[in-house]
Amino acid sequence: MLVDGMALLFRAYFASASSGYIRRTKAGVPTNAIYGFVRYFWDAVQTFDPSHVVCCWDLGGTTFRAQEYSAYKGNRSEAPEDLIPQFSLIRDVIESFGIPNVSYQGFEADDCIGTLATQISQEMNVTILTGDHDLLQLVSPTTSVIIMKKGQGNYKVYTPESLYEERQLHPRQIIDMKALMGDASDNYPGVRGIGEKTAIKLIQEYESIEGILENLDQLSSSVRTKIENDLDMLHLSRRLAEIHCKVPVECAVDGCQLEIDNVLISSKFEELEMKSLCQLIGVEAV
């Protein structure tokens, strides 16, 4: 199981912060996102029973996408102040589980996940735990994407078959769909005036961006004009949408087998004053 650490951590933070209460240690260190992360993560482990686990993270600093398009994710606000110290603490918690933390400067967690999925799926089946539908482009006969839906324990598992059944798209076509419609969350526009419905219809009919461009004369004058006016942004948006699967990261399968060390985990929970999680994980509190 490849875990999208950022997706789980942000989900856990906002799920609890929305109530107005932020869990803290006696010293005032916020831990609400960590507490929620562990609950989400452990529910997924119990549900899908992975033999091996890796957790992937974004790093601070500029990514190759922001270098190519300066407005990339430029619409996002700063992380909440109470969440910032939890970025490093959660990695310590993951280490206490014996799980490798993987990241690489200049790339996003998605790219690390895509790279490791490509590598590891040669040896065993891979599941990706996330809330991010962008990762559906990584679905393959040996890689499933588990989308966390609203509410703990509520999942949608995508295989090539279920993805096609739901959207009538193949995994790689997700990239071209996003190239056409853009992504408001990541702040790139795609082709102005083309939304999801039209993008999906075009990809279903012409299979790819190349297929669409080869058949521009078959399109309505309105759609053709929109594409012709935004050709450069169309190609740029596709580069931004595509997950980079050749990040220089490696993770030996032998090094990510999920083996719980009671002492390490209970000590970490004790340090963060969340001993109640020991019972959840099934370890004895120190």
Both 190 and 248 in one domain: the answer is: no
Please, what is the Cα angle at 144 between 116 and 95, to 5 degrees?
Answer: 45
For the range 122-127, what are the long-range contacts, defined as Cβ-Cβ under 8 Å and sequence gap of 24 or more? 123/253, 124/51, 124/52, 124/253, 126/1, 126/2, 127/1, 127/2, 127/48, 127/50, 127/157
The pLDDT value given to residue 66 = 95
Tracing tokens 């929305």 back to the chain, one arrives at 18
Both 155 and 189 in one domain: the answer is: no
Both 163 and 274 in one domain: the answer is: yes
pLDDT (tens digit per residue) in 183-202: 999 999 999 999 999 999 99
pLDDT profile of the chain (286 residues), mean per 10: 97 90 94 96 96 95 94 90 96 96 97 97 96 97 96 91 96 97 95 96 97 96 96 97 96 91 93 91 76
pLDDT (tens digit per residue) in 41-86: 999 999 999 999 999 999 988 999 999 999 999 888 889 999 999 9
Residues 6+ apart with CB under 8 A from 85: 29, 30
Domain count for the chain, please give it: 2
Alpha carbon distance 181, 240 (integer Å): 12
Both 248 and 222 in one domain: the answer is: no
Within-domain flag for 286 = no
The pLDDT value given to residue 150 = 85
User: Is the distance from CB of 34 to CB of 87 less than 8 angstroms?
Assistant: no
* pTM of the shown model: 0.95
Both 211 and 151 in one domain: the answer is: no
Within-domain flag for 135 = yes
* 11: CATH: 3.40.50.1010
User: Which domain covers residue 182, as residue numbers?
Assistant: 173-241
Within-domain flag for 33 = yes
The pLDDT value given to residue 286 = 64
Alpha carbon distance 196, 183 (integer Å): 10
Both 200 and 277 in one domain: the answer is: no
Both 118 and 250 in one domain: the answer is: yes
The pLDDT value given to residue 61 = 86
The pLDDT value given to residue 75 = 87
Alpha carbon distance 26, 212 (integer Å): 60
**Residue 32's CB: how many other CB atoms inside 10 A?**
21
